[in-house]
Amino acid sequence: MIESWNLPPGTLADSRYEVLRLIKAGGMGAVYAVADRVLKDRVYALKQMIDPSASLGERQSAIDCFLSEIQVMQALNHPSIPRVYSSFVHENSFCFVMDLVEGDDLAQVLKNSGSPGLDPHSVVGWSLQVLDALEYLHGLQTPVTHRDIKPSNLILRNRDGRIVLIDFGIARVTNPAEGFWIGTPGYAPAEQQQGTPEPRSDLYALGATMHELLSGRKPVDFDFPTFEDLGVSVPRPLEQLIFRALGTWPEERFPDARTMGKRLRELPGFDISLPAVDREHDFETAVLDLKQRILDPILQNLMHYYSNECHTPYLPRNLDFLEFTLAAPTPFVLQVVKDPARETLHFYEKQGLLEPIPIGDVRPLDAASAAAVPKIVQRFVEDYEGFKGASWQLM
């Protein structure tokens, strides 16, 4: 039972995250609000996944799968997808730290409405947001399929009315020997239940979700009555779109999330205005994207090139503050400091005990930032080579 795994308030996880309160718990884990002791003004969600594996081999396999999946999640940058900041194992349970999303999931919204189904205008607006996130996921260089789209995995965020996708199929790694497919019956299409999910599987699940939100009827595998049969008034074009998404096989559905979203926006009678993306999220995601696409590969190459001189064992996951140290033998340090107030990354180099000197600023929200970073790092490398060849060095 989950009670035996409960983390009481005050528990310190990963020597950093202090548990504030339990948000929700289930048979396979729990979600907590936690305070970051390093970034003291930050509150996150910590998701604890209990490992039911019986044998040592199964447990190690579960850990490997979990960490592999977390690496994928940490690379995601979209306003409708929580950012994941770290992952670790705490007392035989898997944990990861992510954005805290305050709000009700759509299953709770439907329950609270007290009516058989929800307003079509709201359902269309929410679905467009989900499709925007799916278009992003499916369009990645290595496409990501959510595999478990359903009302309880879609949260209506309180502060801005944005739909946020949660639970990216992580539960599958906690019991790898149980079966070959993951998902939720009723929402999972045939190919997913046969163990071969693909991006259009998510479109089926969204169709099942829309059907439930409009009718109030929980889906049963491959059984979706018409809205007329259920006594629910839904515009005919919207019904046709939903039933196309519910095609038995992928080729019977929309070819991709973008096409489905386009068709949904073109429906007559719906004037949908999507929530604005807040500026802070824009900046933070731009910083993370710049780090992962541009800065990390450059620094990793330098770590390899200067393998005997590099004193930086690994790169941090975020860019709140980064130091990259070379020594010859005096430390020569590249510092990167994030400045959210100015939406800027400041680059400095520090020679020995001298004060850091600025060598460049980058605004991640500007398109030119991708070209600016390599030039700044190149200056750092050239200065280091000159410093290394000097007849004096400051300790």
Cα 392 to Cα 333, 386, 388, distances in angstroms:
17, 11, 9
DSSP 83-146: -EEEEEEETTEEEEEEE---EEEHHHHHHHH-SSS--HHHHHHHHHHHHHHHHHHHTSSS----
Q: Which two tokens stand for residue 282?
A: 């824009």
Helix ranges (H only) for the chain are 56-73, 106-113, 120-138, 190-193, 199-215, 236-245, 257-265, 279-290, 296-305, 369-389
Which range among 64-78, 121-135, 170-184 shows the weakest confidence by mean pLDDT? 170-184
Burial class (CB in 10 A: 0-12, 13-18, 19+), 371: exposed
- Residue keyed to tokens 């919204």: 109
End-to-end CA distance of the chain: 57
pLDDT tens for each residue of 46-86: 988 876 554 566 566 666 666 666 766 777 778 899 888 77
Residue 104, pLDDT above cutoff 90? yes
Residue 80: strand pairing partners: none
The span from the CA of 102 to the CA of 159, in Å, is 8
Per-residue pLDDT, 169:
59
pLDDT tens for each residue of 80-103: 998 887 788 888 788 888 889 999
Nearest residue to 177 via CA among 62, 338, 279: 62
pLDDT tens for each residue of 312-371: 888 887 777 789 999 877 899 999 998 887 889 999 999 988 999 999 999 998 877 888
Please name the residues in contact with 245: beta carbons below 8 A apart, sequence gap of 6 or more. 203, 204, 206, 207, 210, 253, 254, 260
With 0.95 as the threshold, say if the pTM is over it: no
Nearest residue to 172 via CA among 293, 268, 65, 75: 65
Give the residue with greater pLDDT, 286 vs 22.
22
Per-residue pLDDT, 52:
54
Residue 173, pLDDT above cutoff 60? no
pLDDT tens for each residue of 251-281: 999 999 999 999 999 999 998 877 776 656 6
- Residue keyed to tokens 């035989």: 92
Q: Which two tokens stand for residue 178?
A: 């149980």
